[in-house]
Amino acid sequence: MIISNRFVRTYLFGSKVAIIHNKSFECCVSTAKEGWFQKQSTIILEPKIGNTMGAGPAGLRPCGKVIYSPALRKGDRLHFHDILAQMLDALGEEGCTLEEALEQIFTEWKRRGIAAETVNLAAD
């Protein structure tokens, strides 16, 4: 289930954050600018062992990242944030691990030209 998916106002850039709890895993999807002159990318975080999603940033570990195609506009990137959250939730409900779900999504997005680069650290 997608617990929340909303815009969050941070220091300079703002971001969109989705929190997902399903029968296979919990994770957080965050889309934000990486810097002053950078476009949005998305990181996926999961709770460290012994923590929950409510533990705050110190209780989370990065497990995936999407660097979008340079051709995508801001609105497109935020749209794919929503799609990523929905796909992760659906795959988790089907019994996929977070690592498997990220691998499926990342492979498809790279094939379709949505993602220029992806990193899957869920197995580490």
Q: Name the strand (E) or helix (H) holding 18.
A: strand 15-21
Backbone angles phi, psi at 106, to 5 degrees: -65, -40
Give the total number of structural domains in the chain.
1
pLDDT in the model for residue 62: 92
Structure tokens of 31? 């889309």
pLDDT tens, position by position, 95-105:
999 999 999 99
Confidence of residue 122 (pLDDT cuts 50, 70, 90): confident
> What pTM, to 2 d.p., does this model score?
0.88
pLDDT in the model for residue 50: 64
Residue 40: Cβ within 10 Å count: 24
Structure tokens of 110? 């790279």
Is the distance from CB of 32 to CB of 13 less than 8 angstroms? Answer: yes
Backbone angles phi, psi at 43, to 5 degrees: -115, 150
pLDDT tens, position by position, 48-88:
766 555 545 567 889 999 999 999 998 999 999 999 999 99
Q: What's the chain's average pLDDT? A: 88
Q: What SS3 state is found at 13?
A: coil
Domain of 106, in residue numbers:
2-120
pLDDT in the model for residue 68: 96
In the predicted structure, residue 9 carries a pLDDT above the cut 70: no
Confidence of residue 106 (pLDDT cuts 50, 70, 90): very high
